[in-house]
Structure 1
Amino acid sequence: MPDYGHDLLFSANLVPHAQQADTVVALAQLAERAGLDLVTFQDHPYQPAFLDTWTLLSYVAAGTESIRLAGNVHPLPLRPPAMLAQAAASLDILSHGRFELALGTGGFWDAIAAIGGPRLTPAQGVDALEEGIPIIRAAWDTATAGGIHHHGEHYRIDGAQRGPRPAHDIGIWLGAYKPRMLRLTGRLADGWLPSLPHLGSIGKIGEGNAIIDEAATEAGRSPKNIRRLLNLGEELPPAQLAEIALTHGVSVFTLMVGDPSAIQRFALETAPAVRELVAAERAGSQTQNSAQRPGSPALRSQAAAAQGAPLAAVPTPDDGVRLTDARVWDESTRPTGPRPDPERRYTPREQADGQHLIDVHDHLRAELAQLRDLVDQVAAGTLDAGAARSHINTMTMRQNNWTLGAYCESYCRLVTMHHSGEDAVVFPRLRRAEPDLTPVLDRLAEEHQAIHKIIERVDRALVAFVTDPGGLDHLRATVDLLTDSLLSHLSYEEHQLVEPLARHGL
């Protein structure tokens, strides 16, 4: 799938909790100070626990200066298109061109009907959206003479006056998943805004792109004119986001977040890293595609790079240090894969694929060290509850709240997510590409299951610690066992898979 070449934007998606209104506004302002490009808010008018999103957008616009704003997404059935167009244009004018309009069909029909909205079928919702978009665009088109006229099944406009004109060309982004909505996106919209948890897999982005691109081409539009956006349910490492950008053309990454440290990390660490990776890849592609004289230094340099170099990725050694006498497997029975060809050379892309596994593992090692340090400080009595809360706030791992248990739970979830991805995607690919690796892959999968069982023991130890401070020794022993097992496993996996991954790719 193509890289559509758009500039990369990074965004926070905030839940508009009415009982935490000041916090919601403060998080939006923090997102701006940290350097994020966009802040979005869910829009569920039938949810009494939420603030009205349009009121919130206006309030935040008045309290910020540069960050862009959008709903995520506005259900069209609850706001007539002509009035929605005026509200959007007004907010764009007042914010000096910082508003974008994200729309959806509604979906929650019982809730919509409960507050007086129309009860539509899914097909009727798409029909109404297809009628509504041209009405909105017509209302913004003050250069065309005459009023707006539309006689459709869902909307009737008889000579409405146009205006006001927005301060900039507002993008209309659609939350779309099924083929008919995707085709509508290709024909009429400026952006596609799905949520990764609802898509189910990253591969679905490519499938959606294909439908959108085909519909855009049939409508006489360039697929490059349609931005691809993505709501993230979890934080993903920069290398994975860069791959999504380059492979699937996603240029706006939005993280659902409610934690200040996560906002700062996403803005100050993740965003720059992704931009750097994507810029380097784009620059390399431009160099490869540019016309050059045979024998020129640049061409010779490219030829040398294409021939490759010895594998530079070095697996992390196992230092043999163990914190506990307990063992969950016999390391002497671990199988090994075929020895690599010592004459093999690896291209820059293959080098990157080999290094990627080590980079992911290094992140897990660093987070494990932080977890252990926090347990040690609590055990030593050097941290009270307030100091622990402040300390966790500076860590890089995402947390849902300020407890020791939540931090450990978050780390365990990251390990589980990493292992699940290997079991579901990486290992099957390597099995097909290199059958002789099957015994190694089977053993690694078994160790994944054993580590997951240790994680369950950590969870139980955390529960015991919450109810009985005397359970701290058991918690430390369980974390020691996790440390021994996980570090041993990561080293074994790198020694067996780094080189095959370089040959076969991720």
Structure 2
Amino acid sequence: MADYGHELMFGTFLTPAAAQADRVVALAQLTEQVGLDLVTVQDHPYQPAFLDTWTLLSVIAAKTQRVKVSPNVANLPLRPPYVLAKSVASLDILSGGRVELGLGAGAFREAIVAAGGPDRTVGENVEALEEGVRIIREVWSPERVGIKADGKHYQVVGAKRGPAPAHDVGIWLGAVKPRMLRLTGRLADGWMVSSPYFAPEKLAEPNAEIDAAALKAGRDPSDIRRIYNIGPGNSPLDGPVEEWVDRLTEITLTHGMSVYVFGSDAPDDIRRFAEVAEGVREAVEAARAGAQGTAPTGAGVTETATAAVAAPVVSDSGLGLAPTPDDGVRLSGERLWDESTRPTAPAPRPGQTYTATQRTNGQHLIDVHDHLRAELEKVRDLVEQVAAGVMDVGGARSVINELTMRQNNWTLGAYCESYCRGVTLHHTLEDDSIFPKLRRADPGLKPVLDRLEEEHHVIHDVLERVDRALVALVDGSGDVTQLRDNVNVLSDTLLSHLSYEERELVEPLSRFSLFTG
């Protein structure tokens, strides 16, 4: 994954406790006072100890001036979409454009039914959510004629539209399962998820699922914000502020998360999170400026660097990107293709220029490949530790926090299987979405794209071999040597393929701006 370039936002996730109503509002005001951007509140209408979410958000908006408000997330089964759309638009108008809509399909089925809501299966809830999103957007488009939405779960036929919100309200879907992730990619403005569901090191796969769905729907994946709720056990209070600045900066630049919502009702925690937010803003700004060859504005910037920021480069005579070369090192004697027969892409016309945005498209491919290379190294490291029979806690944490092997081969298997799924998803994304666009943009790329697709199939077969070797290791019919041999073949083929793909496609991806219009 990569940084999607969104402006950073930081907020709080407050408990809407009816017994401490004044305190909840005061915490929202503190959120604004310390410089944070967003106040969010859970929405469980069937919970008797909680205030009604929309009533509370309205009071918070009235008693603050700048901070945005959002449910985290609104319970659609108990808030019909036509009425919810009007509630959101009304509060957005009254607050001067400070509302976003976190929206969920609705968990806790029995509680929803007990409160008079519909009795739906999980699949039906997803269907209803898709219908609901479309209805909400219809209501927010008053310039059009009456609404006609005759769906399976919602029938809104002939209802009048409006009012429109004061600004383009983002619909951020709370999504965990693949079907919801795909819906997010197709329709939503943001993906809202909590760290207990996806720890930072697990964000790549759901992000890729969202991106693939977005591209398939003809959307730019960078149009979708990534909102991360940080919960107990994974919060900025579990270590020094500096450590959490580094951690959230890495998550932003590696996985594209750009809105961080911290769950705590303690004033000191909120103040400390504001320190973290300030540090992350500065670090991300510096990293983004460095990636574009400019320096961040602010204290300590030289006069020359400031001038460079004031006059951004519109184009460059060269691409300025460095595809990763193939070092030629091979770990296995097995060869699954002849590299000398690989076709090459047509050369760009002399004097071709590239904007900074165009270069971002090519860099995205390199970034995704670098992630796959890093993950491959982790797999190889785990295999070698199994072979050596040694795995200490410190070493395991440096690989991935959740994968403390402790001589447990199933942990190795679970990680390798997850990696294999990620590679397959990446290749499917290219074959189904990116390659067809490149074929249309430049027919001369056809031989290269055909060869890359052939290599994708070969790599898929190698991944299957690794999977079978893992199963054999666990059930005792195989050994670590067999697994190592197959991982060596995977390493040879995958690294060779990634370098070839970058060599041939980084420039066309940049030139044709497939993700940016």
Find the aligned partners of 1:404 and 1:258 in 2 and give their Cα distance: 27
Residue 486 of structure 2: which of 475, 478, 494 is its match? 478
Find the aligned partners of 1:282 and 1:316 in 2 and give their Cα distance: 19
Residue 181 in 1 paired to residue 160 in 2?
A: no
Post-superposition offset of 1:382: 2.5
Summarize the alignment of residues 33-182 of structure 1 with structure 2, pairs less than 5 Å apart.
37-38=10-11, 70=40, 74=43, 83-85=52-54, 100-102=70-72, 104=74, 106-107=76-77, 125-129=80-84, 171=99, 173-175=101-103, 177=130, 178-182=133-137
Post-superposition offset of 1:299: 13
Equivalent residue number for residue 397 of structure 2: 390
Q: Is the 8 A contact 2:6 2:225 kept in 1?
A: yes
Summarize the alignment of residues 210-359 of structure 1 with structure 2, pairs less than 5 Å apart.
229-231=190-192, 234-235=203-204, 236=207, 253-254=227-228, 260=234, 267-271=248-252, 275-276=284-285, 305-306=313-314, 308-359=316-367
Equivalent residue number for residue 153 of structure 2: none
Residue 194 in 1 paired to residue 173 in 2?
A: yes
Judged with a 3 Å threshold, the aligned counterparts in structure 2 of structure 1 residues 326 and 104 are, in CA distance, closer, same or farther, namely same
- Taking only the aligned residue pairs, the percentage that are identical comes to 36
Find the aligned partners of 1:254 and 1:472 in 2 and give their Cα distance: 38
Judged with a 3 Å threshold, the aligned counterparts in structure 2 of structure 1 residues 280 and 230 are, in CA distance, closer, same or farther, namely farther
Amino acid at match of 2:171: W
Find the aligned partners of 1:436 and 1:100 in 2 and give their Cα distance: 49
Find the aligned partners of 2:354 and 2:186 in 1 and give their Cα distance: 30
Q: Is the 8 A contact 1:193 1:230 kept in 2?
A: yes
Q: What's the Cα RMSD here?
A: 5.5
TM-superposition CA deviations, 1:68-110 (whole Å, max 9, x none): 66456x36588899844566689999xxx99743454534xxx
Post-superposition offset of 1:324: 0.9
Structure 2 length-normalised TM: 0.56
Q: Is the 8 A contact 2:18 2:51 kept in 1?
A: no
TM-superposition CA deviations, 1:238-273 (whole Å, max 9, x none): xx89x9999866555237999959996862313267
TM-superposition CA deviations, 1:173-203 (whole Å, max 9, x none): 2526432122346735954222575363777
Judged with a 3 Å threshold, the aligned counterparts in structure 2 of structure 1 residues 429 and 377 are, in CA distance, closer, same or farther, namely same
Judged with a 3 Å threshold, the aligned counterparts in structure 2 of structure 1 residues 106 and 463 are, in CA distance, closer, same or farther, namely same
Equivalent residue number for residue 475 of structure 2: 467
Equivalent residue number for residue 413 of structure 1: 421
- When structure 1 is superposed on structure 2, of 346-355 and 403-412 the one drifting more is 346-355
- When structure 1 is superposed on structure 2, of 464-473 and 244-253 the one drifting more is 244-253
Find the aligned partners of 2:136 and 2:232 in 1 and give their Cα distance: 30
Amino acid at match of 1:482: L
Larger Rg: 1
Note the residue ranges of structure 2 that are not aligned, 5 or more in a row: 104-128, 142-163, 239-243, 257-283, 295-306, 404-408
- When structure 1 is superposed on structure 2, of 350-359 and 272-281 the one drifting more is 272-281
Work out the number of aligned pairs and report it: 377
Find the aligned partners of 1:100 and 1:301 in 2 and give their Cα distance: 37
Judged with a 3 Å threshold, the aligned counterparts in structure 2 of structure 1 residues 441 and 458 are, in CA distance, closer, same or farther, namely same
Equivalent residue number for residue 8 of structure 2: 8
Residue 372 of structure 1: which of 375, 380, 386 is its match? 380
Post-superposition offset of 1:340: 3.6
